């Protein structure tokens, strides 16, 4: 089995979070920590080992303000090239200008009403160029969205949030307790933001929400996502890729499938977190439990878009999960054959119904089940990736790297060989794999066409098409790859 990941590219990102001030800040910090961890970040107490450094500042008294500034200055002084520094909390909200003036190494300001946007902000910062600075300071409820202090999307990809909050009652999730019920953004505000992002260089917009398919329900317009997607395509004709994340099972309508299949800008990619495959576990999770619905919907999706890349996420070790239920999950994963899968070990969140449930599953059992489902999926992913060999795919360049035997893990290439790291429509930023293109590197944000020449469990290897070689791009022929 080839190694699954190239460590420097896929290593779990880490955050360092320091909280100053009052308990309100502590609560917000806990919320940020939870969101980051849910998104795959790990916490570290050592700033040198973090990718994102966050200081939740306090500006209540002068002494507190000076302590916040001094802390930021200290972290900024020791910042490494790849690290990004975020000033969150009261001082960032009230005296952002002063922070930027006194701590030029700060990369982002995150206001007190915007802490729940830490994940897209961290993602944007990590994908962006060094020196780009962002500020999310407004009041989202007033329709006042974040401002990018220096516009531009160097990675070519940007997130577009269409709603906040969630109406679902999932037993393991605390998001509704602090984000509240679903609040859809007005379509006009979303369309304006999309147009700004595309004007600023975005080739891809990634639609995010807690449940994107519930868009509009709170405004008395359920199932209005298809309409919104179609309107986005009309409003931004220069946009190349529109990607949909976080579809809730049961909310994927025939109209949505029709729009996805018919609008050329909408990618044939769908992320539908299903959380489990056994009806009993799903009932305890307070999630839709009909596997018949899932099979029917996946059939419809694949009939309308035969090249669809389907992603899902699952939780193993939910309280009461028996071996038979877990086996049901494995069978389900085999039956559906997802292209991409994220698997989390259940973690009991305070203030959620699942926190108190009896029959909590032992950590070692969770660990063992996690490995079993990942191993099953690895074979499926590899097989589905192998089916891509020979296809021509459009890719969006994320960045570049240099081959170093140890760093590149599963690939053996001559040391020092440059590699372009890109994504095809099958890969969402941050969560999915890459298309690796050996040869001279291409700039981030550029689109290119590649012919897929190799497959790993999570990544593909491609060669630039001959047309690309004659368009002035400095390309060297692909070198031989050895899978180990
Ligand atoms: S749908 Fe997602 S955000 Fe909403 S309660 Fe369930 S897990 Fe939480």
pLDDT in tens, 208-254: 888 999 999 999 998 899 999 999 999 999 999 999 999 998 899 99
Q: Where are the beta strands (DSSP E) in 304-439?
A: 309-316, 340-345, 392-402, 411-412, 418-423, 435-438
Q: 3 pLDDT band (50/70/90 cuts)?
A: very low
Q: Give the number of the atom of ligand 1 that is nearest the alpha carbon of residue 211.
A: 1
Radius of gyration of the chain (CA): 22
CB proximity list for 458: less than 8 A, separation 6 or greater: 4, 5, 10, 381, 385, 432, 433
With tokens 């049961």, the residue in question is 250
The pLDDT value recorded for residue 271 is 96
Q: 304 pLDDT band (50/70/90 cuts)?
A: very high
Mean pLDDT across 164-171: 90
The pLDDT value recorded for residue 367 is 96
| pTM (two decimals) | 0.71
The pLDDT value recorded for residue 125 is 86
**Any bridge partners for residue 52, and if so which?**
15, 84
Mean pLDDT across 369-391: 96
Mean pLDDT across 409-422: 71
Q: What is the DSSP letter of 237?
A: T
The pLDDT value recorded for residue 351 is 80
* From 190-204, 318-332, 360-374, the region with the lowest mean pLDDT: 190-204
Dihedral, CA of residue 367, residue 428, residue 386 and residue 370, to nearest 10: 10
The pLDDT value recorded for residue 140 is 55
Q: What is the DSSP letter of 15?
A: E
CB proximity list for 6: less than 8 A, separation 6 or greater: 407, 408, 409, 410, 411, 459
CB proximity list for 358: less than 8 A, separation 6 or greater: 319, 320
Q: How far is the CA of 288 from the centre of ligand 1 (A)?
A: 12
With tokens 């709603």, the residue in question is 163
Fold of 1-141: Rossmann fold (3.40.50)
Q: Hey, whose CA ends up nearest to atom 6 of ligand 1? A: 170
CB 154 within 8 A of CB 444: yes
The pLDDT value recorded for residue 46 is 92
The pLDDT value recorded for residue 98 is 86
φ and ψ at residue 344, rounded to 5 degrees? -115, 150
Q: Is 458 helix (H, G, I), strand (E, B) or coil?
A: coil
Mean pLDDT across 33-59: 90
* From 84-88, 295-299, 357-361, 398-402, the region with the lowest mean pLDDT: 398-402
The pLDDT value recorded for residue 148 is 38
Measured from CB, residues less than 6 Å from any atom of ligand 1 are 166, 168, 170, 173, 175-176, 210-211, 248
Alpha-carbon distance of 242 to 414, in angstroms, equals: 36
Alpha-carbon distance of 229 to 342, in angstroms, equals: 25
Alpha-carbon distance of 377 to 289, in angstroms, equals: 21
CB proximity list for 22: less than 8 A, separation 6 or greater: 58, 60
Mean pLDDT across 141-157: 48
Domain ranges of the chain: 1-141, 392-483
> In this structure, what token pair is assigned to residue 396?
């969006």
Q: 300 pLDDT band (50/70/90 cuts)?
A: very high
Q: 10 pLDDT band (50/70/90 cuts)?
A: very low
Q: Which of 165, 176, 288, 344 to mutate to test the pocket of ligand 1 (most atoms within 8 A of CB)?
A: 176
Alpha-carbon distance of 13 to 193, in angstroms, equals: 28
Q: Give the number of the atom of ligand 1 that is nearest the alpha carbon of residue 169.
A: 5
**Any bridge partners for residue 408, and if so which?**
none
Q: What is the percent of the chain with per-residue pLDDT over 90, rounded to a whole number?
A: 57
16 pLDDT exceeds 80? yes
Q: How far is the CA of 36 from the centre of ligand 1 (A)?
A: 15
The pLDDT value recorded for residue 39 is 82
237 by Cβ neighbours in 10 Å (0-12 / 13-18 / 19+) ranks as exposed
Q: 94 pLDDT band (50/70/90 cuts)?
A: confident
Mean pLDDT across 309-326: 97
C-beta contacts of 288-294 below 8 A and 24+ residues apart: 288/248, 288/249, 288/250, 290/250, 291/332, 293/249, 293/250, 294/249, 294/336
7 pLDDT exceeds 50? no
Mean pLDDT across 60-73: 86
The pLDDT value recorded for residue 129 is 67
CB 407 within 8 A of CB 7: yes
Host H or E run for residue 159:
strand 157-161
Q: Which strands sit side by side in the sheet containing 147-148, from one edge to the other?
A: 42-43, 14-19, 52-57, 84-89, 108-110, 134-136, 147-148
Q: 139 pLDDT band (50/70/90 cuts)?
A: low
| Rounded-to-5 percentages of helix, strand, coil across the chain | 35, 20, 40
With tokens 């949909």, the residue in question is 244
* From 127-136, 304-313, 316-325, the region with the lowest mean pLDDT: 127-136
Q: Hey, whose CA ends up nearest to atom 3 of ligand 1? A: 210
Q: Which residue has the higher pLDDT, 159 or 1?
A: 159
Q: What is the CATH number of domain 392-483?
A: 2.40.50.140
pLDDT in tens, 23-39: 667 778 888 888 898 88
430 pLDDT exceeds 70? yes
CB 108 within 8 A of CB 131: no
CB proximity list for 82: less than 8 A, separation 6 or greater: 51
Alpha-carbon distance of 210 to 261, in angstroms, equals: 23
Q: Hey, whose CA ends up nearest to atom 2 of ligand 1? A: 210
Q: Which of 168, 213, 215 to mutate to test the pocket of ligand 1 (most atoms within 8 A of CB)?
A: 168
CB 155 within 8 A of CB 430: no
Mean pLDDT across 396-403: 81
Q: Which residue has the higher pLDDT, 234 or 40?
A: 234
**Any bridge partners for residue 314, and if so which?**
275, 343
Q: Is 26 helix (H, G, I), strand (E, B) or coil?
A: helix
Q: Is 279 helix (H, G, I), strand (E, B) or coil?
A: helix
Q: How far is the CA of 167 from the centre of ligand 1 (A)?
A: 8
State the chain's mean pLDDT as an integer: 85
Q: How far is the CA of 165 from the centre of ligand 1 (A)?
A: 9
* From 230-244, 313-327, 416-430, the region with the lowest mean pLDDT: 416-430
């Amino acid at each position: 089995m080839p190694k699954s990941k190239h460590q420097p590219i896929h290593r779990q990102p880490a955050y360092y979070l320091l909280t100053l001030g009052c308990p309100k800040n502590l609560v917000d910090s806990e919320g940020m920590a939870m969101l980051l961890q849910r998104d795959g970040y790990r916490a570290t107490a050592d700033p040198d080992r973090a990718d994102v450094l966050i200081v939740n500042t306090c500006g209540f008294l002068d002494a507190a303000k000076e302590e916040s500034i001094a802390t930021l200055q200290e972290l900024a002084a020791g910042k490494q090239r790849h690290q990004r520094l975020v000033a969150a909390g009261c001082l960032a909200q009230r005296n952002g200008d002063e922070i930027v003036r006194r701590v030029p190494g700060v990369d982002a300001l995150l206001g007190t009403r915007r802490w729940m946007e830490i994940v897209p902000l961290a993602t944007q910062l990590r994908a962006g160029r060094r020196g780009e600075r962002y500020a999310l300071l407004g009041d989202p409820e007033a329709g006042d969205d974040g401002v990018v202090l220096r516009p531009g999307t160097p990675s070519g990809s940007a997130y577009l949030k269409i709603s906040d909050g969630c109406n679902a009652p999932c037993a393991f999730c605390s998001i509704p307790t602090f984000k509240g019920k679903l609040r859809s953004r007005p379509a006009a505000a979303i369309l304006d933001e999309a147009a700004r992002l595309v004007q600023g260089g975005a080739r891809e917009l990634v639609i995010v929400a807690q449940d994107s398919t519930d868009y509009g329900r709170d405004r008395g317009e359920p199932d209005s996502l298809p309409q919104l997607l179609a309107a986005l395509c009309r409003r931004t004709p220069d946009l190349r890729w529109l990607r949909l994340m976080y579809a809730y099972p049961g909310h994927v309508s025939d109209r949505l499938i029709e729009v996805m299949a018919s609008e050329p800008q909408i990618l044939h990619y769908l992320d539908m977190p299903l959380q489990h495959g056994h009806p009993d576990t799903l009932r305890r999770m307070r999630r839709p439990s009909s596997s018949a619905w899932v099979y029917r919907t996946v059939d419809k999706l694949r009939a309308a878009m035969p090249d669809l890349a389907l992603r899902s996420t699952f939780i193993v070790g939910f309280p009461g999960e028996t071996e038979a239920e877990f086996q049901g999950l494995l069978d389900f994963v085999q039956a559906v054959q997802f292209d991409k899968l994220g698997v989390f070990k259940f973690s009991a969140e305070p203030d959620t119904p699942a926190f108190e449930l009896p029959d909590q599953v032992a950590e070692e059992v969770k660990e063992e089940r996690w490995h079993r489902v990942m191993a099953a999926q690895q074979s499926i992913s590899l097989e589905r990736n192998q089916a891509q060999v020979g296809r021509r795919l459009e890719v969006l360049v994320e960045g570049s790297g240099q081959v170093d035997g140890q760093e590149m893990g599963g690939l053996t290439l001559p040391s020092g060989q440059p590699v372009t790291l890109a994504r095809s429509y099958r890969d969402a930023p941050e969560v999915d794999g890459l298309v690796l293109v050996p040869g001279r590197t291409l700039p981030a944000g550029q689109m290119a066409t590649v012919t897929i020449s190799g497959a790993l469990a999570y990544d593909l290897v491609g060669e630039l098409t001959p047309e690309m070689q004659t368009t002035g791009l400095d390309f060297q022929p692909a070198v031989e790859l050895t899978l180990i």
